[in-house]
Amino acid sequence: MAVHFILGGSGRGKSYYLNHIVAARAQEEKDKTFIMLVPEQATMQVQREIVQISSNRGIMNIEVQSFVRLAYRIFGETGTASLPVLDDMGKTMILHKVLLAKEKELPYFGKNVHKKGYVAQIKSFLSEMMQYGIEEEGLDDMIRAAGSKAALKKKLEDMKTAYRGFRDYLEDHYITSEEVLTVLSGVVPQSKLLKDCVICLMDLRDLPRCSTG
């Protein structure tokens, strides 16, 4: 698999250059699929730009996708059973239910769970844990590192209880948006769509790059 990087400072035309390269190659290699991965909010803009610069005003073998949309495309192709994905509101509601059920097990969080915005703060922390792949063992390390800091230790112990309850509630029923790419990584080898295609990553840390599968 060859990887090509397009380097340059911000505003120096990297995306412009990549769009033209992809459009030209797509015309020459009509049997190959080109997948451009962009942030969700940029998909329509990039599609429009590709259509405008394409000689036939079309993108028949070019797909502009976000990571999440590509994930669902691959799930459908590979027959992967995808569980409902929780948005932020759903996570907050489930976490609130879990915290209420475990209120007596939470000496620190239990007395604050009814405060406005408190559950949302805990949800944000748990979301970051899931995003960076931190499991309960990671919290155990934090608890040990807290040492004699009693207040911090209680918070972390409550966070561990809340995290375990939240994950137990989700098991076999839901996945969070942070877990979609983890599930995707497990089924990528089964995908025929991704085999021998050209994948371009755009506007991710302002560094366009292409990979030929």
pLDDT in tens, 166-187: 999 998 788 888 888 888 888 8
pLDDT, position 83: 75
Across the range 132-152, mean pLDDT stands at 90
CA distance 83 to 169: 13
Across the range 107-127, mean pLDDT stands at 89
Q: How confident is the model at residue 45 (pLDDT cuts 50, 70, 90)?
A: confident
Residue 14 tokens read as 């990297």
- Who has greater pLDDT, 64 or 55? 64
pLDDT, position 208: 44
CA distance 213 to 196: 4
pLDDT, position 212: 56
CA distance 108 to 81: 38
Lowest mean pLDDT among 18-22, 44-48, 201-205: 201-205
pLDDT, position 145: 93
Across the range 208-213, mean pLDDT stands at 52
pLDDT, position 206: 42
Class of residue 142 by CB neighbours under 10 A (exposed 0-12, middle 13-18, buried 19+): middle
Across the range 17-21, mean pLDDT stands at 87
Across the range 194-209, mean pLDDT stands at 69
pLDDT, position 54: 81
Displacement of CA 36 from its chain's centroid (Å): 16
3-state SS, one letter per residue, for the chain? CEEEECCCCCCCCHHHHHHHHHHHHHHHCCCCCEEEECCHHHHHHHHHHHHHHCCCCCCCCEEEECHHHHHHHHHHHHCCCCCCEECHHHHHHHHHHHHHHCHHHCCCCCCCCCCCCHHHHHHHHHHHHHHCCCCHHHHHHHHHHHCCCHHHHHHHHHHHHHHHHHHHHHCCCCEEHHHHHHHHHHHHHHCCCCCCCEEEECCCCCCCEEEEC
Say which residues have a Cβ less than 8 Å from residue 66's Cβ, sequence separation at least 6. 37, 38, 39, 40, 43
